[in-house]
Amino acid sequence: MNKTFPNGFLWGGATAANQFEGAYNEGSKGLSTADVMTAGSHDVPREITDGIVKERYYPSHVAVDHYHHFEEDIELFGELGFKCYRMSINWTRIFPQGDEEQANEEGLRFYDEIFEACKKHGIEPLVTLSHFETPMGLLKYGSWTNRKVVNFYLRYCETVFNRYKGKVKYWISFNEINVMSTKPWMAGGVNSDDEQVRMTAAFHQFLASAKAVQMAHRIDPDNKVGMMYAGHFSYPNSPDPEDVQANDDFMHKMLFYCDVQCRGYYPDYKLKEFERVGIVLPFKEGDKEELLRGKVDFLSYSYYLTHVVGKETSLAMKGLNGVKTGYNNPYLPTTEWGWAINPMGLRHSLNVLYDRYQIPLMIVENGIGAVDHVEEDGTVHDVYRIDYLREHIKEMKKAIDLDGVPVMGYTMWSPIDIISASTGEMKKRYGLIYVDINDQGEGTFKRIRKDSFYWYKKVILSNGEHLE
């Protein structure tokens, strides 16, 4: 086994603007779909409201106030030794309603400052263009169900590709694009369980991504654009052939998104499914060629857990909570929020994806949500987070060294406590850095290094060798 990860391996961490920045109405920013999602909990789902309701709490409005703490936060990322910082540009900071002809200069300047801070600390930005932050102003068009939104998205892409040329070379077109099949409001402002509606929206996102890839390459040949898959990986509940077939069907429902973006066309199994259920995609002349020309340069994905699937699993995925398969894995422990902890599954997932697509891979989210406690002396002892990250990094190393999988980098979720996307809570903490704020958005916003901060700093400094 090799002694180190590849030279130039992109160690770092990941955030999302709607969970991190706050300042939802500052800098001439418009409302995004995240801004009308209330807080929830493990037992109470988040809700979508019709605009801002005065008595409700919306965690994205304040988040952890990175907007006013970005210099401090990025300095801390530099102290960690980050090679790469995955972040998102909030579309509504650049085009507040989504359909303007002119960009918002205040928003553009804010990200100029972010990228300058990254450069100061030797950090390579990896920028997600759309991370669950669709402008609310596009809902009057039907959001991604309307082909017009493709052009609005491309205007946004062209603006930031040109503005940040030379400052950003790694891009992701859509965060967890397959969430259109599980949580379509988050994926693109689509609030429907109708599969025709969801698949029309997904088609337009595929087309937008393909055109954005080509645009990025034209504007700067150094640009690399990837897709991002919400890492759903599953095992059959038993050797019963019906369970095995159900598992294949489940994975097809998820992986077809990767098939389209990595191969450049819809797989036959998906087209046959559409044929059976009467779904018609809005193809126009030249669209097939656009999808093929706009294949992504790399595949990035999140990895938190694995599923068990069987013949009782419903493939009709409804509601903001997303996937529930009806089965649990008796061989795996779970987090406080019931997510199965499966480090070996990370190696399995890397092999599944590389065997299927043969393009570079990057793990851009991996972490554990847990309740952290600040001790009287101001320390935070999160050995459970260190254990989780260590075991997953070990399996990633095996995939590289033993299986030959080309992994570009690893940006864990998250370097700092931010709002949980799934529940809208603050107490479900993922960070290496504690932020003093509670579920109601109250606190000092003080940043505190946890034990995991010092551990991960050594991991990066040793290029993955120091894991104990």
The answer on pLDDT for 2 being more than 60 is no
344: which 2 tokens?
A: 């070996």
Residue 130: count of CB within 10 angstroms of its CB: 28
Do 129 and 88 meet the contact criterion of CB atoms below 8 Å apart?
Answer: yes
425 is catalytic: no
Under the banding of pLDDT at 50, 70 and 90, the label for residue 42 is confident
466 occurs within a structural domain: no
Instruction: Spell out the alpha helix ranges (H) of 179-285.
Output: 184-188, 195-219, 241-263, 268-277
CB 136 within 8 A of CB 30: yes
Q: What is the pLDDT of residue 1?
A: 46
Q: Given the structure tokens 């300095």, which residue do they identify?
A: 75
Query: In the predicted model, what is the mean pLDDT of residues 110-139?
Result: 98
- What confidence category does residue 275 fall into, taking pLDDT thresholds of 50, 70 and 90? very high
**Tens digits of residue pLDDT in 259-274:** 999 999 999 999 999 9
- Based on the number of CB atoms within 10 Å of its own CB, is 286 exposed (0-12), middle (13-18) or buried (19 or more)? exposed
365 is annotated as an active-site residue: yes
Asked if omega into 414 is within 30° of 0 (cis), the reply is: yes
| Ramachandran quadrant class, 29 (left: phi over 0; alpha: psi -120 to 50; beta: rest) | beta
Residue 450 in any domain: the answer is: yes
Confidence of residue 321 (pLDDT cuts 50, 70, 90): low
Q: Using an 8 Å Cβ cutoff, are 257 and 266 in contact? A: no
Q: Which of 124, 273, 365, 395 is catalytic?
A: 365
Give the residue with greater pLDDT, 134 vs 324: 134
Average pLDDT over residues 280-293: 98
Amino acid at 146: N
Digit-coded pLDDT (tens) for 59-69: 999 999 999 99
Check if the beta carbon of residue 239 is closer than 8 Å to that of residue 309: no
Catalytic residue (choose from 21, 124, 133, 176): 176
Structural domain for 133, as ranges: 10-461
Q: What is the CA 260 to chain-centroid distance, rounded?
A: 18
Q: Is residue 375 part of a domain?
A: yes
Q: What is the CATH number of the domain that holds 409?
A: 3.20.20.80
The C-alpha atoms of residue 179 and residue 187 are separated, in whole angstroms, by 6
Give a yes or no: residue 4 inside a domain.
Answer: no
Structural domain includes residue 468: no
Q: Where are the alpha helices (DSSP H) in 264-342?
A: 268-277, 287-293
Locate the DSSP E strands across 310-429: 361-365, 407-413
**Is residue 44 in a domain?**
yes
CA–CA gap between residue 203 and residue 391 (Å, rounded): 37
Instruction: Please report whether residue 2 resides in a domain.
Output: no
pTM: 0.96
Condensed to tens digits (0 to 9), the pLDDT of residues 419-468 reads 999 899 999 999 999 999 999 999 999 999 999 999 999 999 999 999 98
> 322 pLDDT band (50/70/90 cuts)?
low
Residue 43: band (very low, low, confident or very high) from pLDDT cuts 50, 70, 90: confident
When divided into structural domains, the chain yields a total of 1
Cα–Cα–Cα angle for 282, 287, 292, nearest 5°? 130
The band of 84, judged by pLDDT with boundaries at 50, 70 and 90, is very high
Single-letter amino acid, residue 328: N
